[in-house]
Structure 1
Amino acid sequence: MTAGNVPVYMQTYKQLLKEIRDGVWKTGDRLPADMVFAKKLGINHLTLKKAMIRLAAEGYLTRTRGRGTFVADVLPKAKSLASGKRVAVIYDIVHESSFQSDIFLSIYKEVGEMGLNLELLSANQSRTTQFRQIISLFSDSDSAGCIVWSLMDLRQLEKLAAAKPQGYPLIFINHKPEQDIQGFDFSGYDDFGSGRRMGEYISSLGFKHCIICQAADYRKRITNLQRITGLRSSLKNPPELFCRYGADKQEPLLSFLQERKKQEKTAVVFIADTDYSASLNSLQQTQLTPFVFFTALAPCCRGILLSCKEMGTNAVKILKTRRNGDDSFSISLRAAGKII
């Protein structure tokens, strides 16, 4: 990456888009073959191909195997960033409680203050449904942007990046897509910084040993990995990691805590507050001291509070920035954790 961490394919995309709009390449013009054109531009032909695919997805080019690449006969009209009035919020699944959650209420309030309407959609735990929901928004003249709790895989994200109209506000919330190269906007938690603060806090209280508990289901989740990395970076002694249990199968965790019940000066860190809640009765019968990353539950012991409300507010801040014309490759805002 160069030019402020903007990938070369995006720089090429923007350059070609400007040339098409400025009439350097006129409607119906045939572009040089990819290998020839890439050499002329001084880039790899695969990089050029990626930029071309995006321009074709947006309607500026037509690409046909055996015939070549042409500027479209009719160029798409640039969509006014402020034309739409409806902001879609897409959850992995919507429950009745979703409408009362801090994150939803914060988004609802901020969107309303912008004079826009909010639509809450459920993907019903289907990544295909979610992908199609977002694609349909790209051609919806009343769509003012989308905030999504993503389920999608890397293949779908790549297709989404190619299809997304320039300037369309698409903000991922809580879980960042796997590769920054996608250029998606993100509102989430400062997981690494929060983990580091948690480790410093535990060390300052004089704990000699630390056990980190997280369900095996979520070992590869980036939020968890960042919190654990932050913890490890600031603890005086290497922590013990226990993950031999499932989010819906807590019995191994409860047994483990009972095995360690007489262990003194030991901090037990729960990456998920739901795991702490499920093991509360077992913890009360031990000498272990719990520390929790609180996101869904009201704080009830020591730990770090990560504000869903702030994450929602930040998502709308990004939306507002995009609607005001910011064309940065990507925008990320992270809510800092607070010691409690």
Structure 2
Amino acid sequence: MTGRAFSRRLFLKTATVATLGVGLAACRPIAPISDVEPAMREVTAAQVTDPESLEAFVLGAKAHIESITDMNVGAKLREGLKTEGDWKSGSTFLIIFLMNGDAFIHGNDRDAESKNLLGVEDERGTRVVEELFAAAAQGGGFVEYYDDGPQTAYAVEYTSGITGRQFVLVGGYSQDVTHVPITIADLPKPAVTASEVVDRESLITFVEEAAATYQQAVMSEGYSTLTGVRNAFRVEGGDWKIGSIYLWVVSGGGVTLFHGSEPYREGNPTDMVRTDSQGIKIAEELIGGARREGRKFLRYHYDNPAIEGDEETGSPKFGYAVSFQPPNTDQKAVTGSGIYLDTDGS
């Protein structure tokens, strides 16, 4: 997106809608420019200077994202869209919305990814994201909104090349959404909560139920319940997280899709060849094993934050992971957790 304010005159000129009498102040969507040359669709974030280049930037991103068919590549978008480069340059970045208004990937605000922005209003009381969705539904279009002056955004729908599901891609939209509450799903109490994970059997029960809950969210229409479930899994002291007991979800190739303790890991690859102090390839055996076999147990050594002096050797830990298949794809994701063991191995 870009936080740059394009003048109303320039906006009308480049969008070629000056004769339409459109009420821009009301944030009504404008039809997209139809004669953008293919080369213009390769505009990078740093090259966005006006509405025409903004549209080209978003459409180029749309084409790129739709071409992704590998889950491991798609999973990297969560971090890739936040990284300075072709898709982000300072205040120019992108947002991917779920069709219910949840910010699925936000190029500039990780906290916004836990929120639904459909009801957010600008300085003049206009529900900007609603207008962006309306513009996207018409094949793509511009919306002018007010945030410390007039701003211009562009929105378009796209179809995932991995799952075939619809999303809305937006560039040029930036508002302070710190006041928007986090969406937390009201989930049934699991048979074993995070605080009750004390041994192998309780860990298995905990992970199995969490995996089923996460899979149901992934299978929900348009991922409509996914944001709430992810947020519920993050609540410290809640049913799904306490201290070192937390959940993670990765792609079959080890790219982090969700991390209950360290969200900054999401979109980043796991080191699949990393070994512990005993020579065990932790990720390959646990994640790869679950992907191939459906479920996997693994005992290994890992640095325990609660123990000083084990940074080099690690402390005994038991991990358990299960795989599931997202909709409309034969690729798999893996959900897991772990528990540090007592020195007697119990």
Q: Which structure would you say has the larger Rg?
A: 1
Q: TM-score surpassing 0.5?
A: no
Q: TM-score, normalised on structure 1? A: 0.24
Instruction: Say which structure is richer in helix.
Output: 1
TM-score normalised to structure 2 length: 0.24
